[in-house]
Amino acid sequence: MKPGALIVLLTLAGLTACSQDSGPPVTVSNIRILAPLTQGGATVAYFVIDNKSDNSIVVNQIRSPQFSRAEMHESKIDDGISTMRRLESVTIAQGSMAAFEAGGKHIMLSDATAGVSPGTTISLEIHFDESLLIVSAAMQSRSSAN
């Protein structure tokens, strides 16, 4: 294949193609879902989203079948006090990534729809633009999380 033809193919593939040789354009890695500190309490999930596509993407909703509420939050230290606010969306530039991690952006999960504990498989539905990525991981106990 000529180099020129390859570029055209990648452009056409855009965000929706999954069969191109370079792998999917948007990937999720380092998924960590922590068990609630207290039975039935809220908890957090972390991951990294890589946007290898040719366009910026906007993550506009997170859902989990195992929790009634899933929100994107961002922690900040204000005057020595840790606060967090809800993020309506997170924009990731082309070729860039967004890390949801302790002390920064995170996913807040609350109102579990059934009992959850370490080992429970938790799914996260990551909505961006018109696309959806579904990932899952086993819930980790807090003591083994670090």
Residues at the interface with Cu ion (CB under 5 A) = 73, 84, 108
Of 135, 128, 136, nearest to 53 by C-alpha is 128
Shortest Cβ contact with Cu ion: which residue? 73
Q: Which is nearer to Cu ion, 60 or 131 (CB)?
A: 60
CB nearer to Cu ion: pick between 26 and 59: 59
Q: How far is the CB of 108 from Cu ion (least distance, A)?
A: 4
* Residue 73: CB minimum distance to Cu ion, A: 3
* H helix count then E strand count, the chain: 1, 10
Residue 6 is given by DSSP the state H
Give dist(CA 143, CA 128) in Å, integer: 32
Nearer to Cu ion, 2 or 86 (CB): 86
